[in-house]
Structure 1
Amino acid sequence: MAPLLTKSSITSDPGCRKSRVDWAGCAREGKAGREMGLLDSMSLEEKIGQMVMVGFEGPELTPSDEEFIGRYEIGNVIFLGRNIVDLAQAESLTHRLQEIASHRRHRVGFLLSIDQEGGVVARLTKGATVLPGNMALGAIGSEEWASRASEVTADEMMALGFNMNLAPVLDINNNPDNPGIGVRSFGEDVSLVTRLGVASIEACQSLGVVATAKHFPGKGDVTVDSHLDLPTVAHSRERLENFEFAPFDAAIRAGVGAVMTAHVFFPAVEPEPDLPATLSRNVLTGLLREELGFEGVLITDDLFMGAIVKRYSIGEAAVRALVAGADIALLCHGRAEQAAAIEAILDAARVGKISRERVDESVGRILRLKDRFGLLDPGRYLARHSLERVGSAENRHVALEIARGSVTLLANRRGIIPVAPGGYPDLAVISPDIRGLTQVEDGQLTDSPLAAALRQFAPGARDFAFSQSPEVGEIRDAVDLARSADLVVVGTYNAHIYNEQGALVRALLDTDVPVVVVTMRNPYDIVQFAAAETCIAAYGFRECTMRAVAELIFGAIEPRGRLPVSIPGICPCGTGLTFQG
């Protein structure tokens, strides 16, 4: 097997990193001759196949899957948790897809993408290293650690055959009520998000994996989840330019290979009421292409989200996105719906609703990206790499060190922590059943990752798991357990949205038992229990993060994290206590 790629093994023509591409000029100079030759020789069906990215249902390619891929000349695939069983299976599956590409008339490799943001959004969990997410990195504030996290992720992705990460998130989360971003963002400060985002992009792409800046033009300040319906960002154009757009502008200048759209309405840019950015020519072509100068590949967010399907058929949405300037329509689910979307795109191209020039612009950009990342060379994209570094002790140590640097002590008024050895012999751990909250197939999860981590220090710890919105009976049972313990550690998961979790914590605080609260996703949860005397922001629930929380509670590490968002009336941005105060 070939060795894993390193930074030094990735070479690229500086011309590939230009923000604007003169296709005719590049062809004359010989820089894009290969792509242009391919483009000229491709049929319409082959071109349209490059302009979609599809998901499929299971952990292997069925004959039906292969027939579908062949019939529509599919050029790009997204992997979700349902497609991953273990490391060997994942690598075999990605390799099989590239084998299919290598036997086509035009031997153009697949973009094989995955959402491996780290933290709460990770598709590779079974045997791979799952690093803390963006807000944990924001709590450290170090470009070096952001780069290191991105390198580990890209290294493991390449070993498994994935060549495109649908990350990093460049949304600036300055709205505590944002239901879909939160800890997926680096924080609320434009400079912090920009610095860490660019560092992540450069590290990822230096190892041969396409980075994807998302969700353009920015959905950090929304109160509706676009999976469910259409959010609006109603700020002025001046505010957007100085805030939401800024990280994307920096990413473009840093050479990011791809940008993903947001299913969000921006009235300051798009005058048509309730037209999502994904379908807006003013946003995708006018703003992103012409004003910001992006000439990489523009991919939609999944077109099956509520913000889109509540207003458009899947075929209409796909066509409108491509007409507006998107290069790839992302279609994650449903074979019949995927086929309907592709047929609609083909029909629109045949009658000129999507012009041949528009098709060639997109396919030219896609081919140029694929050439930059070795996907026009079967010798490169068929190379198989050692899996020994995937989930290695070294990489897991990196994840743990990031977690240790990020966990943030928000309150410790009675000095309950650090817990001295034997100080509280009877520990009760009360936390949400994470498996029921994440809605993601995830082999790393246990009933209570928090309890599992704390048992490394208190083997006899008892635990109780509650639901997303605990009922009265659950709250009563949690209180009964607490009253029989010497110390309670309670975890929350989006309690700022689910008020019943706040009620549970407040009921625990009303007992005479010392309580340590751990926010296992968004730190905004503390608004529900501002009276908590001891509170830790963890920014996630992964094994490395829960281990760091346990070490902090028992004094094995000092708290070093700094809150990268503000919690109005409670904690300003930058809050972070030490054990000394």
Structure 2
Amino acid sequence: MTAAASAADPLAGMTLPEKVGQLFVGYVYGDSATTASASNTAKYGVATGAEVVARYHLGGVIYFTWSGNLANPAQIAGLSNGLQAAARADTGIPLQISTDQEGGIVNRIGAPLAVSPGNMAIGATQDPRGALRAAKVSGTELLQLGINVVDAPVVDVNTNPRNAADGPRAFGDRTAPVSLFGAAAVAGYRLAGIGAQAKHFPGLGDTTVNTDNGVAVTNETRDQILTTHIPPFQAAIAAGVPSIMAAHIVASALDPTGAPASLSRPIVTDLLRHRLHYDGVVITDALDAAALAAIPGDQIVLRAIDAGVDQLLMPADPPAAIQAVLDAVASGRLSEARIDQSVRRILRMKQDLGLFKWHPAPAAPAVGTPADAATMSTIAAKSITKLRGTGLPVTPGAHVLVTGWGVSTTQNLADALNARGVVAGRLWTGSPSPALIAQAVAAAQAADATVVTTNNAWSDPTQVALVQALLATGKPVVVVAVGGPYDIAYFPTAPAYLAAYDYQPVSVIAVADVLTGRAPTPGRLPVTIRNPEGTTVLYPYGSGS
């Protein structure tokens, strides 16, 4: 069987199992389409990725490092070509291949790609053109690997400083700038020829919980949601975004039943489809998320389809989920016409992205070019935000301790400082024990100055304890936030504080340039920072020097 792209009705030659398969975006294990994996056998009952795609007629596959998909560019390109060949031999319909390449703290593929700073770093540049340029570079590189859809951009408005879902993944905490930057990113991906995916509708910016880990709730009113969180999605739609991800957040003001947005007809159909007039592809967030753990798997997929969703991302038991949809059509619980509605949207998106005219990914992908690397470095350099600067820059030849959060972050920063004439030693602490804090204090006392990195220390008392102990030494200390910039509220006596917003190498190098006086700090806060109780503004939106 084949559904020809040139047919008047591409659905006419499709069987029901082939149509249902198009609704599912799953994952496969292995570094090539023909690599046998016990994990594939356990999950799908067949050994290779190619066999998974063919048996279940999958519409899409999403890549992860943990599933063995992302070793290096040539390998990724080969995997993509193999999976595409399997899909085309099966149904003739191209495979959607995606990954979460947001830049910043959510980034699946590193060097040699030219990896982007995160959204909040880009927001700190105050220049939406950077969002367009970064997206164009990133999208172009992904296409070289055979990846045709990027699970980005995040267009949530991060109104809650304690947000564990977004934070520095968001462009900022104000609706208008987030709308501008989000639309610019969509335009950049479009220029690259890759499909973008605006997420997470109707917005995760007000929650504190990541839906991967638990139930996320927003208690904002309907008016608050519509005026604060919905406009960036409207801007993305106006920019031509081909798909939108529905979150698992519970927004009772939009759906009094308390259904997660991804399973809510009032949110997906009434709001997104009817009120916002969106007829592109709607995909769920990962269906194996903890936020949905209390709902039976078969009910999850059926309720998502009832809500108006088109694509079902990563169900916990893919074969059972697919069978649940087939059984629902057989019993009359779902109509085949409803399945056709979503399949038409999916095929239209694939057609619009040019996927039916397949050009295999090159054996030697062109990624990480000097021009692309320079684009990302320029953006990073414009993002670094100085909120306090006593003791900066660090004296050439000084002995500096680099400590704090992140194994590779502290190593990369120490290496960059050494390359710039500073004698830098390194002690990674992560979330430190009292003994490790004592070790860091001893090393700081022996150094001329200490640079300590933090990542969302507001949620980690051990990071706060480390910084406070280092400050108590009386030696010069520079705090560098490589997550959200909100940590400064917990270090009121820190003499120097830089916000880098993420820990990608380009951002770490930009920090080293600032620390050694080689670069200014043009970044400005794209959020407002309040005291820990939230009652007093410490640094207003736009702060920086």
Give, in angstroms, the shift of residue 459 of structure 1: 5.4
Matched, 1:488 2:450: yes
Deviates more, 1:343-352 or 1:41-50: 343-352
**2:538 pairs with 1:570:** yes
- 1:34, CA displacement in angstroms? 4.6
> 341-350 or 355-364: which moved more?
341-350
TM-superposed CA distance for 1:571, in Å, is 1.0
Residue in structure 2 matched with residue 461 of structure 1 by the alignment: 424
Q: Paired residues, what number? A: 522
Number of the residue aligned with 1:304: 288
Cα distance in structure 1, aligned partners of 2:56 and 2:29: 17
Partner of 1:419: 394
- Residue number in structure 1 paired with 2:88: 102
Could you say what secondary structure the match of 1:230 adopts?
coil
Work out the percentage of aligned pairs sharing the same amino acid: 38
CA shift, 1:355, in A, is 1.6
Provide the TM-score with structure 1 as the length reference: 0.87
1:195 and 2:180 are equivalent in the alignment: yes
Which string of whole-angstrom CA distances, capped at 9 and with x for unpartnered residues, describes residues 496-536 of structure 1? 11011011101111112100110011111112112111000
- For residue 448 of structure 1, give the secondary structure of its aligned residue in structure 2: helix
- In the TM superposition, what whole-angstrom CA distance separates every residue of 1:14-64 from its partner, at most 9, and x where no partner exists? xxxxxxxxxxxxxxxxxx995761112211100001000001233223352
**Residue number among 394, 400, 404 corresponding to 1:431 in the alignment:** 404
Does structure 2 conserve the Cα–Cα contact (< 8 Å) formed by 1:171 and 1:185?
A: yes
Gaps of 5+ in 1: 1-31, 435-444
Tell me the amino acid that sits aligned with residue 318 of structure 1: V
Aligned to 2:312: 329
Q: Is the 8 A contact 1:141 1:196 kept in 2?
A: no
- Secondary structure of the residue that 1:103 maps to in structure 2? helix
In 1, the alpha carbon distance for the partners of 2:351 and 2:112 equals 30
Q: Name which of 208, 217, 225 aligns with 1:240.
A: 225
Please give the secondary structure, in 2, of the residue aligned with 1:101: helix
1:399-434 CA-partner distances (Å, limit 9, x unpaired): 11111000000112x3x1123434xx2111112234
The residue identity in structure 1 corresponding to 2:314 is L
Separation of aligned partners in 2, 1:381 and 1:115 = 22
Deviation at 1:388, TM superposition (A): 5.4
SS, match of residue 81 in structure 1: coil
Q: Which amino acid in 2 is paired with 1:103?
A: A
CA distance in 2, matches of 1:126, 1:352: 50
Match for 1:421: what amino acid? P
* 1:90 alignment counterpart: 76
> What is the alpha-carbon distance in structure 2 between the residues aligned to residue 68 and residue 541 of structure 1?
35
Alpha-carbon separation, structure 2, partners of 1:487 and 1:427? 5
Task: Indicate conservation of the 8 Å contact 2:417/2:423, yes or no.
Answer: no
Tell me how far 1:382 sits from its aligned partner.
3.1
2:351 corresponds in structure 1 to 371
Q: Specify the alignment match of 1:47 in structure 2.
A: 19
- Structure 1 residues 385, 59: CA separation in 2 closer, same or farther (over 3 Å shift)? closer
**Could you say if the C-alpha distance between residues 492 and 483 of structure 1 is closer, same or farther in structure 2, counting changes exceeding 3 Å?**
same
Counterpart code for 1:511: T
Task: Specify the alignment match of 1:25 in structure 2.
Answer: none
Query: Is the Cα contact below 8 Å between 1:264 and 1:276 reproduced in 2?
Result: yes
Confirm or deny: 8 A CA contact 1:176 1:182 kept in the other structure: yes
Aligned partner of 2:14: which letter?
A: M
**Alignment of 1:154 onto 2:139:** yes
Larger relative CO (CA 8 A, sep 6+): 1 or 2?
1
Task: Judge conservation of contact 2:445–2:475 (CA < 8 Å) in 1.
Answer: yes
Distance in 1 between the 2:238 and 2:423 partners?
54
**Equivalents in 1 of 2:386, 2:173: separation in Å?**
19
Q: Deviations over 1:180-207 (max 9, x none)?
A: 2100000001111000100110110122
Residues 213-240 of structure 1 deviation map (CA, whole Å, 9 limit, x = unaligned): 0000001010112111111112111111
How much does 1:81 deviate? 1.9
TM-score by length of 2: 0.93
Is the aligned partner of 1:516 residue 2:485? no
1:129-180 CA-partner distances (Å, limit 9, x unpaired)? 1110100110012121111100100110111111000000010001111012
Matched to 1:452, the amino acid is: D
- Give the letter aligned to residue 60 of structure 1: S
Whether the aligned pair in 1 keeps the contact of 2:121 and 2:380 (CA below 8 Å) is: yes
Structure 2 residue runs without a partner (length 5+)? 37-46, 531-536
- Rounded Cα–Cα distance in structure 1 between residues aligned with 2:172 and 2:30: 35
> In the alignment, residue 417 of structure 1 is paired with which amino acid?
L
Residue 395 (structure 1) shift: 1.2
1:76 corresponds to which letter in structure 2?
Answer: G
